[in-house]
Chain A
């Protein structure tokens, strides 16, 4: 029994930490703060989540609205980012001309573009997808570019030595070699995309988790606010796990995940 505890001290510590934290949070909320417009106990959050999920069902429209915006923006950035990244890797001219704009768009706090995109695309789905897209596309693009660039020189020589066609070189060597990089770009894009969803739904939305959080903030509805934040966190974790699975399936030769 003792041995069992020693072997799992890491897991035990983590569970203890979570339990202690939750108890502390509960104590803080109910005894010290004791103001539900300020902080509520984790139990209140759980019961609110239960209510919104199983009694009123009011969480679902928000969940679906956010998921769609996220998926469209994310897929669009893959469709645009990967080929553009490859193109930049193959053509120095394209790279040099695109580079300054990319640096600008990438390093600017994305939220600055939200009002501009709203102005151009209206408050419909277009502007929301565009904001998510703007968040996701650069990590994907940069990683695709980088993955293509760092392909081992000997692999390219190998292809030439075996007289492979250009298409075969791309399909059999360059593409699989850059796959781990693209996947890690997808991972980076995940968090940025969710942030994008939240930003997008602050502006003139009528549904979505971002809207839920925003509205709850304006009306000081702390339990709903916590439910919304938790839902975002869970979406991130689930997305991350899905990507990890894809990574394991797509790159079985990898023993560890690149960062």
Chain B
């Protein structure tokens, strides 16, 4: 096994063990900090009752709808912005505005507009992801090496062929980067929206657990969200490396 991996595992095990021991020895109740074993018990209970599954499915659904809608609209829009300067100039102030406002602050507004049901969360995910996708796709199309376009001209590629064989592949790594950035922020957004107003989803569970002082449940939710974050990040990073191995991607 590689040394760094071994060290990482050691690090995780040691902290978990210390946590368990400290929680058992010193903490009277598990309000402040439930032991890992308590969290695990609570996890199985929540899984068995189907509560966890229900909330997880709700969040996943909202996320999937919003994300795919953002891809369907954001990528073509970003592509057009990269190709046409006037569109870029007309869109830019608004995209920049959307980008510079912390997403979280818009969530109450979106809930006023779209209600406390699924739709408002889909909109939150959509809004966050589409901004990242538009910006990165446009950047990918704009920063294409002019030499490649000259090559396609010299080989007399048609417009369609140039798009399909040169421009899109060149922009692809940027698009995936946009997706990666979008996933992280959208996950934050959807949880925030659920936390603010909803009746299902992991964000709701977070609020419910903290309002009922159910610490094991709170920690189950936190660990689950951490796992979701790591899995989605790792998957997209892998995809990024596969599609553009020549490009340096974020280490984390």
Contacts and interface: CB of A to CB of B under 8 A. Distances in A.
Quick check: do A and B touch in the complex, using CB within 8 A? yes
Interface of A: 9-10, 13-14, 16-18, 21, 37-39, 92-93, 95-113, 115-116, 118-120, 138, 142, 146, 191, 194-195, 197-199, 202, 209-210, 213-214, 216-218, 220, 222, 225-226, 228-230, 232-233, 236-237, 240
Contacts of A109: 184, 187-188, 191, 225, 228-229
A119 B214 CA distance: 11
Given A112-B221, A142-B251, A217-B109, A103 B90 contact: no
Contact of A222 (B112, B228, B232): B112
Contacts of A209: 105
Contact of A112 (B3, B10, B108, B226): B226
A21 B97 CA distance: 12
Listed residue (A102, A112, A199, A213) with the most chain B CB atoms within 10 angstroms of its CB: A112
B146 interface: no
Contacts of A195: 102-104, 188
B226 A14 contact: no
B93 A229 contact: no
B100 interface: yes
B108 A102 contact: no
A199 B192 contact: yes
A3 to B, nearest CB: 18
Contacts of A142: 250-252
Main secondary structure of the interface of A (DSSP, over half): helix
B237 to A, nearest CB: 10
A138 to B, nearest CB: 7
B113 A38 contact: yes
A32 to B, nearest CB: 14
Given A198-B102, A240-B100, A111 B251 contact: no
A217 B102 CA distance: 15
A119 B106 CA distance: 26
Given A198-B105, A232-B102, A236-B101, A111 B203 contact: yes
A107 B226 contact: yes
Contact of A191 (B9, B102, B229, B232): B102
Given A14-B89, A217-B111, A233-B97, 14 more contacts: A14-B90, A17-B92, A97-B10, A101-B11, A104-B230, A108-B225, A109-B191, A111-B203, A118-B210, A119-B215, A198-B102, A210-B104, A225-B108, A237-B100
A12 to B, nearest CB: 9
Interface in B5-47: 7-12, 15, 31-33
Q: Which of B102, B195, B218 has the most CB of A within 10 A?
A: B102
Nearest to B85: A10
B144 to A, nearest CB: 17
A52 to B, nearest CB: 16
B206 interface: yes
Given A98-B11, A101-B11, A111-B192, A229 B101 contact: yes
Contact of A232 (B90, B105, B192, B196): B105
A103 B100 CA distance: 25
Contacts of B252: 102-103, 106-107, 138, 142
Contacts of A110: 188
Contacts of A95: 4
Contact of B226 (A108, A191, A222): A108
Nearest to B15: A101
A17 B91 contact: yes
A180 B106 CA distance: 32
Contacts of B251: 142, 146
25 contacts: A13-B86, A14-B92, A17-B92, A17-B94, A39-B113, A92-B4, A103-B230, A105-B226, A106-B252, A108-B222, A108-B225, A109-B187, A112-B225, A112-B226, A115-B218, A116-B219, A116-B222, A118-B210, A119-B215, A194-B102, A195-B103, A222-B112, A229-B106, A232-B101, A236-B102
Nearest to A213: B105
Contact of A210 (B7, B105, B207, B218): B105
Contacts of B191: 109, 111-112
Given A213-B105, A213-B108, A233 B233 contact: no
B209 interface: yes
A217 B108 contact: yes
B59 to A, nearest CB: 10
A217 B112 contact: yes
Interface string B148-167: 00000000000000000000
Contacts of B100: 191, 233, 236-237, 240
